[in-house]
C-alpha cells in the first residue's frame, strides 16, 4: 500500500469519525431512566433515544446551538436541564409560554380545559394535598399560573411521585435538550437483582457479569423494546 493510499484511508476514517461525532452531538442521544417519576410511560432501566435536532441541538465543541425546527408542545416527553441542578431530567411538557395552568384536586387544567393524565400515567396517593394556610400552592392544588414566554411547565406522569415544575418552576427554552422518541432497550433488576459490586471484592465484577448472562432473558423487558413514545 502506497503512502497516498494510507493517507486516503486515514482521511476517510477521520471523516467518518467526525461525521459520527457531529451526528451524536446534533441529531440523536441516548438516556437511561434512573427514577420512577415517569411511570408507567417510562420505567427505571429503560434506555431511550432522543431527537436533539428538532429543538435545536447544542454543539458543545463549538459552543453553538443549531436553530430549532420547533419547540416543545403540550404532550411532548422532553429531556432538559431544570433550573435548580445541572442534572438532566425527563418529564412531559404540560403547558408552554402564555398558557394558564391550574391544578384543582389533582386535576390539571390548561387554559380552562382539562389535560387528562396519559393512559400510562398514574396517581399513587389518594390523599389530596390542600393549599397552605396562606393559600400557598401544593402539588395537588396549584395556580392559576401563567407560564412566562419561552418557558415550559414540566410534570412527571407518575404525578404523586414526581419532583417537577410544581416545585422548581418552568424550564427555559435554552435548557431544552431533546425530545424522547423511542425505547430502544429496557433492563429490569426487579425480579433478579444483580449482586453488588464492591471495591473490596475483586470477584464481584465477574460475578455480576455471569449472573446477568445467566438471567439475561429474564431481565430484558422484551415487550418494551422499540416502543414509540407519545
d(CA 219, CA 186): 8
Which residues on adjacent β-strands are paired with residue 50?
Answer: 29, 180
For residue 173, give the 3-state DSSP assignment. helix
CA angle 36–38–43, rounded 5-degree value:
55
Catalytic-residue membership of 162: no
Residue that the C-alpha cell 433492563 belongs to: 187
DSSP string of 106-117?
TEEEETTEE-PP
Closest CA to 222 of 71, 46, 88: 46
For residue 210, give the 3-state DSSP assignment. helix
State the catalytic residue, choosing from 3, 52, 70, 91.
91
State the catalytic residue, choosing from 26, 35, 37, 119.
37
- What kind and span of H or E run contains 18? helix 3-26
Catalytic-residue membership of 186: no
- Cβ 166 vs Cβ 155: under 8 Å: yes
Active site residues per annotation: 37, 91
Amino acid at each position: 500500500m502506497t503512502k497516498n493510499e494510507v493517507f486516503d484511508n486515514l482521511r476517510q476514517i477521520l471523516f467518518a469519525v467526525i461525521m459520527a461525532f457531529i451526528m451524536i452531538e446534533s441529531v440523536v442521544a441516548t438516556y437511561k431512566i434512573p427514577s420512577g417519576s415517569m411511570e408507567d410511560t417510562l420505567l427505571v432501566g429503560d434506555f431511550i433515544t432522543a431527537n436533539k435536532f428538532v429543538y435545536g441541538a447544542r454543539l458543545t465543541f463549538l459552543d453553538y446551538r443549531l436553530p430549532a425546527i420547533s419547540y416543545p408542545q403540550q404532550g411532548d416527553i422532553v429531556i432538559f436541564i431544570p433550573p435548580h441542578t445541572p442534572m438532566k431530567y425527563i418529564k412531559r411538557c404540560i403547558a408552554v409560554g402564555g398558557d394558564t395552568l391550574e391544578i384543582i384536586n389533582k386535576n390539571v387544567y390548561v387554559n380552562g380545559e382539562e389535560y387528562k393524565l396519559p393512559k400510562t400515567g398514574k396517581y399513587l396517593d389518594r390523599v389530596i394535598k390542600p393549599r397552605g394556610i396562606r393559600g400557598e400552592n401544593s402539588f395537588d392544588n396549584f395556580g392559576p399560573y401563567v407560564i412566562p414566554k419561552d418557558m415550559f411547565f414540566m410534570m412527571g406522569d407518575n404525578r404523586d411521585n414526581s419532583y417537577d415544575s410544581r416545585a422548581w418552576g418552568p424550564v427555559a427554552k435554552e435548557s431544552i435538550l431533546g425530545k424522547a422518541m423511542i425505547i430502544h432497550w429496557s433492563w429490569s433488576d426487579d425480579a433478579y437483582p444483580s449482586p453488588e459490586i464492591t471495591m473490596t471484592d475483586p470477584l464481584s465484577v465477574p460475578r455480576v457479569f455471569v449472573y446477568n448472562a445467566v438471567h439475561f432473558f429474564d431481565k430484558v423487558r422484551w415487550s418494551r423494546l422499540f416502543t414509540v413514545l407519545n
